[in-house]
A and B are shown apart, each in its own frame.
Chain A
Amino acid sequence: MELTTVWFILIAILWTGYFVLEGFDFGVGMLLPVLGRTERERRVLINTIGPVWDGNEVWVLTAGGATFAAFPEWYATLFSGFYLPLLLILVSLIIRGVAFEYRGKRDDDRWRGRWDLCIIAGSAVPAFLWGVAFGNIFRGVKLGPGHEYIGTFWDLLNPYAVLGGVTTLLLFGLHGAIFVSLKTAGEIRDKARGFANGLGIAVAVVAVAFLSFTFAIRSRPASVVLGVLAAAALVGALLMVRRKREGWAFAGTAACIGLTVASLFTALFPYVMPSTGLDVFSLTVTNASSTPYTLKIMTWVAVVFTPIVLMYQGWTYWVFRKRIGVHHIPE
């Protein structure tokens, strides 16, 4: 297999990892006001993701770095082209990350209330904007000579991309609610499960609309199969929620997110960022990539270190595997 293809797949895997992992901690963050009525309940919610959210976030840094290393042209076009949405994402990630650490550092309701707002907005805004960004990557944007983005900020808010944003927002919300029901005990667990039940129907409607719209824009048989499997995984997850099998339900939403990313990337290949105008301006795995020498080095680094990272990250989830409830929160 061409190394450019390998890196296309690796970057798809990094984004999958990011959305599956940070997807649920975004979900938990934005459900703070919905599932956490009291201060103790909110602390339970935050502590379900406390030990892991930071490690989850590194997936996006690695995806960004890997794109820079393997497809510098893509990195340059994407990040300079999507300037303002990315600024919003970065600001969200900043206030959110600081909020987790600083929220409990003063005993003051107003102080905590403000950080809660940072967590809620800092989770919901990126959850929505990543969907918008990927909608645009997939649909294609106005590219000009030198592969530069020549559209405006408002061009990025086209209906398909916004639908993509609504899909990721709701899907991450569902993923988060199911994660809460998996990781907590007592009343909060029931509340999360009930909420996931209700939200699930909205997610299913939006996700099916998004996938159909996607197939209409660009598809190949494999991408349709993956998309249908993604929908099936979502349905499976919803059935498992009803049967109170939270572990399976969580696996279902994780699979749904992973398969959706896989479906999009499969349809996109060999493009990484198609031009909606002249096709010569489109970015593909070949014209956006680094030299074979750089790709070879990066492949070795990835092959050696990715399994190690997966092992110790997996271990973290094992160490903190127990359910927590309000009675576990120290004063």
Chain B
Amino acid sequence: MDALDWARWQFGITTVYHFLFVPLTIGLSFLVAGMQTAWVRTRDDRWLRLTKLFGKLFLINIAMGVVTGIVQEFQFGMNWSAYSRFVGDIFGAPLAIEALLAFFLESTFIGLWIFGWEKLPRKAHLACIWLVAIGTALSAYFILAANSFMQNPVGFRFNPETKRAELTDFGAVLTNKVALITFPHTLAGAFLAAGALVAAVGLWHLIRRPGVDVRDYRSAVKVGAWTTLIATAAILLTGDIQGKIMTEVQPMKMAAAEALYETAQPAPFSILTIGTLDGTEPVWQIEIPGLLSFLATGDFNGKVEGINDLQAQYEAKYGPGNYKPIIPVTYWTFRAMIGFGLLAAAIALLALWTLRRGRVPTSTWLLRAALLLPLTPLAANAFGWIFTEMGRQPWIVFSQMRTADGVSPTVGAGSVITSLSVYTALYGILAVVEVGLLLKYAKAGLPDVVAPPEKPPLDDEDRPLAFAY
């Protein structure tokens, strides 16, 4: 393995790790904002208690999301300097705007929200968490616009003099059709993750601590499960459109998602394959006829181009080389993404069924499912990203620059191995800490609350702070 391989592993590991926290952060910020809004509107203490409980889980989680995000921004320059030189004219802008518009909003108002419970009027304090939520969504949009340029480069021209891609139409980069569909798809994935966590915490308390705060935890399960189900519907809808756009702009990725070697009309979709995925006959397969055609084109009879034909086309267009991604990775991550997402929806549906007409679940089976529930959307999100990034290979910017050409030429394997080891060890330790804290506070359950005053008191300089680190 050389510096390129290590740099790729580092990007993969740090990104997947970062993206375990991001969806939870985005989704929870909105759900917590929603709960706090419910409290401000109804003055029902149940919503304040839920706000405090999930707000705490949100803060434990966002801390990790923020610090691992710093690595992401600096990594482009550290490990991928040739890439940064090539696309800096285009790629840097959404990143800088993300920092200016989104990160400042998030980080400033999160501070105000954490410490401002009794320092700000009730509605101003509520506005803070909404601004945090908006910040997280804005941040997602700008980073996805940057990523979408790598999937489907638009709004630029290649300048042979400077040998770099130069921006010609920023509007086109921001309204890239890949970005416009990836944004709602990713947001829906975030709501899936957060909804599943909220529902799971509620279920755990209802089953393990029967009779304690039943009314409140039922609300949590309902909010969480409905969020999960609505998010699933949004994911399917946006994923479907995304598949068709992907077929149009990156046909190789769609072919690789099915390991479809020969062009077919209609093309079937296989749920599972036993055997190799190298284009020879599989040992055993469950296939749904015409489904890939539908996913790719919207027509059960549509034509889907196969890997071999695309390889020949790309060779003619871009010169000799291997233009196939690693097929088993794309094939299985695509299925894992869909499978884990649907599993979350199934568990959420089951949970809602057990709550019908005022019932309270007692099943230990449901408890086991509840423990699985928050993990499946995270797995779905991670596999989705691995699929979308690995499916683009060998390109770092599709059709413009190969990944192998984007790596920093002067950074040796030793440096990359050092940083990869440091991050892996550090992230490993922090993962244990984070999971430990999340479990501790999730199990501790709803806090006793005293509703803060409508307006902050002006007097009493010596009163202890309502919240302090």
Name A's B-contacting residues (CB within 8 A).
Answer: 43, 46-47, 50-55, 57-58, 61-62, 64-70, 72-73, 75-81, 83-84, 86-87, 90-91, 93-95, 97-98, 100-106, 144, 146, 148-150, 290-291, 293-294, 297-298, 301-302, 305-306, 309, 312-313, 316, 319-320, 322, 324, 327-330
Chain A residues within 8 Å of B465, by CB: 47, 324, 328-330
Chain B residues within 8 Å of A305, by CB: 100-101
C-alpha gap A276/B61 in the complex (Å):
45
- The answer to whether the Cβ of B283 comes within 8 Å of any Cβ in the partner chain is no
Task: Give which listed residue, A47, A54, A319, contacts B116 with CB less than 8 A.
Answer: A319
What are 27 A-B pairs with beta-carbon distances under 8 A? A47-B465, A54-B66, A61-B103, A65-B73, A65-B97, A66-B100, A68-B95, A69-B93, A70-B96, A75-B92, A76-B81, A80-B408, A83-B411, A90-B70, A94-B67, A94-B430, A98-B64, A98-B67, A100-B469, A102-B433, A105-B440, A290-B88, A291-B166, A294-B93, A302-B100, A316-B111, A320-B119
Determine if B418 and A84 form an interchain contact, defined as CB atoms under 8 angstroms apart. Answer: yes
| Centre residue among B91, B109, B110, B170 by max chain A CB count within 10 A | B170
Q: How many A-B residue pairs have CB under 8 A?
A: 238
Determine if B88 and A75 form an interchain contact, defined as CB atoms under 8 angstroms apart. Answer: yes
C-alpha gap A185/B104 in the complex (Å):
29
Determine if A90 and B71 form an interchain contact, defined as CB atoms under 8 angstroms apart. Answer: yes
C-alpha gap A330/B462 in the complex (Å):
11
Chain A residues within 8 Å of B111, by CB: 50-55, 316
Interface of B (DSSP majority class): helix
Q: With A54-B110, A72-B84 as known contacts, state yes or no: A101 contacts B168, CB within 8 Å.
A: no
C-alpha gap A93/B68 in the complex (Å):
9
Determine if A62 and B119 form an interchain contact, defined as CB atoms under 8 angstroms apart. Answer: no
Q: B162 → chain A, closest Cβ, in Å?
A: 9
Determine if B88 and A148 form an interchain contact, defined as CB atoms under 8 angstroms apart. Answer: no
Q: A25 → chain B, closest Cβ, in Å?
A: 12
Within 8 A of A (CB), among B417-469: 418-419, 422, 426, 430, 433, 437, 440-441, 461-469
Determine if B100 and A329 form an interchain contact, defined as CB atoms under 8 angstroms apart. Answer: no
C-alpha gap A10/B90 in the complex (Å):
19
Task: Give which listed residue, A69, A72, A98, A146, contacts B63 with CB less than 8 A.
Answer: A98
Determine if A101 and B59 form an interchain contact, defined as CB atoms under 8 angstroms apart. Answer: yes
Q: With A73-B85, A103-B469, A298-B96 as known contacts, state yes or no: A330 contacts B63, CB within 8 Å.
A: no
Residue of A nearest to B456 (CB): A319
Chain B residues within 8 Å of A72, by CB: 84-85, 87-89, 92, 164
Q: B445 → chain A, closest Cβ, in Å?
A: 15
Interface residues in B, total, Cβ within 8 A: 75
Determine if A58 and B99 form an interchain contact, defined as CB atoms under 8 angstroms apart. Answer: yes
Chain A residues within 8 Å of B89, by CB: 72, 290-291, 294
C-alpha gap A327/B465 in the complex (Å):
9
Chain A residues within 8 Å of B276, by CB: none
Q: With A75-B84, A91-B426, A297-B93 as known contacts, state yes or no: A51 contacts B78, CB within 8 Å.
A: no
Task: Give which listed residue, B71, B410, B422, contacts A80 with CB less than 8 A.
Answer: B410
- 9 new A-B contacts, CB < 8 A, other than A64-B99, A65-B95, A150-B410, are A46-B469, A61-B70, A68-B92, A79-B84, A80-B411, A290-B88, A294-B89, A316-B112, A319-B119
Determine if B85 and A61 form an interchain contact, defined as CB atoms under 8 angstroms apart. Answer: no
Determine if A83 and B70 form an interchain contact, defined as CB atoms under 8 angstroms apart. Answer: no
Q: A1 → chain B, closest Cβ, in Å?
A: 20
Determine if B114 and A58 form an interchain contact, defined as CB atoms under 8 angstroms apart. Answer: no
Within 8 A of A (CB), among B106-160: 107-112, 114-116, 119-120
Determine if B120 and A319 form an interchain contact, defined as CB atoms under 8 angstroms apart. Answer: yes
Task: Give which listed residue, B96, B109, B119, B441, contacts A65 with CB less than 8 A.
Answer: B96
Determine if A329 and B468 form an interchain contact, defined as CB atoms under 8 angstroms apart. Answer: yes
Chain B residues within 8 Å of A149, by CB: 410
C-alpha gap A124/B85 in the complex (Å):
32
Chain A residues within 8 Å of B34, by CB: none
Residue of B nearest to A83 (CB): B415
Chain B residues within 8 Å of A81, by CB: 410
C-alpha gap A103/B98 in the complex (Å):
29
Q: With A72-B84, A80-B408, A324-B465 as known contacts, state yes or no: A297 contacts B99, CB within 8 Å.
A: no
Determine if A148 and B99 form an interchain contact, defined as CB atoms under 8 angstroms apart. Answer: no
Determine if A327 and B120 form an interchain contact, defined as CB atoms under 8 angstroms apart. Answer: no
Chain B residues within 8 Å of A98, by CB: 63-64, 67, 430, 433
C-alpha gap A101/B107 in the complex (Å):
13
- The answer to whether the Cβ of B76 comes within 8 Å of any Cβ in the partner chain is yes
Task: Give which listed residue, B90, B108, B410, B462, contacts A55 with CB less than 8 A.
Answer: B108
Chain A residues within 8 Å of B228, by CB: none
Residue of A nearest to B66 (CB): A97
Task: Give which listed residue, A50, A55, A97, A297, contacts B468 with CB less than 8 A.
Answer: A50
Q: With A316-B108, A330-B468 as known contacts, state yes or no: A76 contacts B96, CB within 8 Å.
A: no
Residue of B nearest to A287 (CB): B162
Determine if A68 and B108 form an interchain contact, defined as CB atoms under 8 angstroms apart. Answer: no
Determine if B68 and A94 form an interchain contact, defined as CB atoms under 8 angstroms apart. Answer: yes
Q: With A98-B64, A105-B437 as known contacts, state yes or no: A75 contacts B462, CB within 8 Å.
A: no
Task: Give which listed residue, A50, A55, A69, A75, contacts B104 with CB less than 8 A.
Answer: A55
Determine if B93 and A327 form an interchain contact, defined as CB atoms under 8 angstroms apart. Answer: no
Determine if A148 and B409 form an interchain contact, defined as CB atoms under 8 angstroms apart. Answer: yes
C-alpha gap A87/B463 in the complex (Å):
42
Q: With A65-B99, A102-B437, A330-B464 as known contacts, state yes or no: A57 contacts B77, CB within 8 Å.
A: no
Q: Top 9 A-B pairs ranked by shortest CB distance?
A: A72-B88, A79-B77, A69-B92, A68-B92, A65-B96, A80-B81, A101-B63, A76-B81, A51-B111
Determine if A68 and B103 form an interchain contact, defined as CB atoms under 8 angstroms apart. Answer: no
Q: With A51-B111, A57-B107, A80-B408 as known contacts, state yes or no: A102 contacts B100, CB within 8 Å.
A: no
Determine if A327 and B464 form an interchain contact, defined as CB atoms under 8 angstroms apart. Answer: yes
- The answer to whether the Cβ of B167 comes within 8 Å of any Cβ in the partner chain is yes
Contact with A along B45-87 (1 / 0, CB 8 A): 0000000000000011001101110110110111101101101
Chain A residues within 8 Å of B422, by CB: 87, 91
Chain B residues within 8 Å of A83, by CB: 78, 411, 415, 419
C-alpha gap A328/B112 in the complex (Å):
18
Chain B residues within 8 Å of A319, by CB: 112, 116, 119-120
Q: B411 → chain A, closest Cβ, in Å?
A: 5
Chain B residues within 8 Å of A55, by CB: 104, 107-108, 111
Chain A residues within 8 Å of B119, by CB: 319-320
Q: A86 → chain B, closest Cβ, in Å?
A: 6
C-alpha gap A298/B91 in the complex (Å):
12
Chain B residues within 8 Å of A95, by CB: 426
Determine if A80 and B433 form an interchain contact, defined as CB atoms under 8 angstroms apart. Answer: no
Q: B114 → chain A, closest Cβ, in Å?
A: 7
